[in-house]
């Protein structure tokens, strides 16, 4: 168990009109983690809203940047530097166009796949932080991306979104433990619970027994 605190930043845009947008799924995730694990209330810090708590025995800071998505690095960078956290102790939850709706993947480092929030954080801190990518699907053409991510999840989307956000909150202690495969597996199991085994039909007893 590491003594280094973990910073989990969920990305989104501030304000009620953005609250249910696909781009705000990171905010949704950290809100769910905070509620599930009884974090302290979110308070203004580092150009964002921050809540403190403990996951799996590790001190965790949850951050929602209030800088708007495209300059998320201002808030996340400020928090990471002030708290003197190495990049290995920074995790960012964000929407991912290149993953099918409802899919979740965790990776460390790499490119930003056109995500402006991730690009801003990379510019501020470097690329080697952890990314928890929540698939929202792609609208089909580059021209449609802007309006797609800045639009509410559909009613059909909520059928996978609500269970997924709940599963992320449940599995968050694995993330704090640095067990990325365990985190992804726990989410997958919760979102798609195994089917109960089929019961064998009762054998027909011969007459007279």
The question of whether 151 is a catalytic residue gets the answer no
The whole-number average pLDDT for the span 40-62 is 97
**pLDDT greater than 70 at residue 209:** no
* pTM of the predicted model as reported, rounded to 2 decimal places: 0.90
**Distance, first Cα to last Cα, the chain:** 62
- State the Cα–Cα distance between residues 172 and 180, nearest whole angstrom: 10
Q: Which residues of 22-58 are buried (b: 16+ CB within 10 A; e: fewer)?
A: bbbbbbbbbbbbbebbebeebeebbbbbbbbbebbeb
Determine the pLDDT at residue 204.
58
**Could you tell me the pLDDT band of residue 192, with boundaries at 50, 70 and 90?**
confident
The whole-number average pLDDT for the span 102-121 is 92
The whole-number average pLDDT for the span 190-194 is 80
**Could you tell me the pLDDT band of residue 112, with boundaries at 50, 70 and 90?**
confident
- Which residue in 23, 37, 94, 115 is the catalytic one? 23
**Could you tell me the pLDDT band of residue 3, with boundaries at 50, 70 and 90?**
confident
What is the percentage of the chain residues whose pLDDT exceeds 70? 91
**Could you tell me the pLDDT band of residue 185, with boundaries at 50, 70 and 90?**
very high
Does an H or E element contain 97, and which?
none
Which has the minimum average pLDDT: 29-38, 39-48, 194-203?
194-203
- State the Cα–Cα distance between residues 79 and 50, nearest whole angstrom: 9
- State the Cα–Cα distance between residues 188 and 167, nearest whole angstrom: 8
CATH number of 6-191, picked from 3.40.50.1470, 3.40.1160.10, 3.90.1170.50, 3.30.310.220: 3.40.50.1470
Alpha-carbon Rg for the chain, nearest whole angstrom, is 20
- State the Cα–Cα distance between residues 131 and 92, nearest whole angstrom: 5
């Amino acid at each position: 168990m590491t003594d280094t605190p973990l910073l989990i930043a969920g990305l989104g845009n501030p304000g009620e009109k953005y609250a249910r947008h696909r781009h705000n799924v990171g905010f949704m995730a950290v809100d769910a983690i905070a509620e599930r694990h009884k974090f302290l209330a979110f308070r203004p810090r580092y150009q964002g809203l921050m809540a403190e708590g403990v996951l799996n025995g590790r001190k965790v800071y949850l951050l929602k940047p209030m800088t708007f998505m495209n300059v998320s690095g201002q808030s996340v960078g400020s928090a990471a530097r002030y708290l003197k956290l190495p990049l290995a102790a920074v995790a960012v939850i964000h929407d991912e166009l290149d993953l099918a709706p409802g899919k979740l993947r965790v990776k460390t480092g790499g490119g930003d796949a056109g995500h402006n929030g991730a690009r801003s954080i990379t510019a501020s801190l470097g690329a080697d932080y952890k990314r928890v990518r929540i698939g929202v699907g792609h609208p089909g053409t580059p021209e449609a991306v802007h309006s797609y991510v800045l639009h509410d999840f559909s009613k059909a989307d909520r059928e996978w979104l609500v269970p997924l956000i709940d599963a992320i909150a449940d599995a968050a202690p694995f993330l704090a433990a640095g067990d990325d495969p365990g985190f992804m597996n726990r989410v997958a199991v919760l979102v798609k619970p195994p089917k109960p085994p089929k019961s064998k039909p009762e054998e027909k007893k011969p007459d007279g027994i």
